[in-house]
């Protein structure tokens, strides 16, 4: 079974530029999450999708971050404009909400450096 795919793996941009990350979840997983992991910290949830709808985006800085999952499969997370403090690893995860006692599966992440 293929895992959660993310691209790119690494990205370096200058502050005030824009950037986009892509995630393709495990096939059949209706729930998709984006987490931000700042160096030295645990991952923090940014947004959760159920199919193509947003379940929770309470911790997403909406003035600069946006995310979509238009067809309920893959997802894009965008930052515009980027700030130095956005340097982090962005992790995508997916899970199947209907199966009991299952966990979320994580991709390898995209490491963003803002200079």
CA distance 42 to 39: 8
Helices of type H across 16-69: none
Per CB under 8 A, does 104 bind another protein? yes
| 57: its two tokens | 């985006």
Q: Are 14 and 22 in contact (CB under 8 A)?
A: no
Per CB under 8 A, does 90 bind another protein? no
Per CB under 8 A, does 88 bind another protein? no
Per CB under 8 A, does 53 bind another protein? no
Nearest C-alpha neighbor of 81 from the set 19, 9, 11: 19
Per CB under 8 A, does 43 bind another protein? yes
Task: Count interface residues toward another protein (CB under 8 A).
Answer: 26
Instruction: Give least dist CB 43 to another protein, A.
Output: 5
Per CB under 8 A, does 48 bind another protein? yes
Segment interacting with another protein, rule: CB under 8 A, options 19-27, 61-69, 76-84, 104-112: 104-112
Collect all residues with Cβ–Cβ distance below 8 Å to 71 and sequence separation of at least 6.
Answer: 52
Per CB under 8 A, does 41 bind another protein? yes
């Amino acid at each position: 079974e293929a895992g959660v795919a993310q691209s790119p793996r690494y990205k370096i941009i200058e502050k005030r530029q824009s950037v986009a990350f892509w995630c393709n979840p495990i096939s059949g997983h209706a729930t998709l999450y984006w987490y931000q992991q700042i160096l030295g910290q645990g991952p923090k949830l940014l947004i959760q999708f159920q199919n193509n709808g947003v379940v929770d985006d309470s911790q997403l800085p909406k003035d600069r971050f946006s995310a979509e999952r238009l067809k309920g499969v893959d997802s894009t997370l965008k930052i515009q404009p980027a700030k130095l403090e956005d340097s982090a690893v962005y992790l995508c995860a997916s899970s199947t909400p209907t199966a009991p006692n299952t966990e979320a599966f994580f991709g390898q992440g995209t490491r963003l450096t803002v200079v």
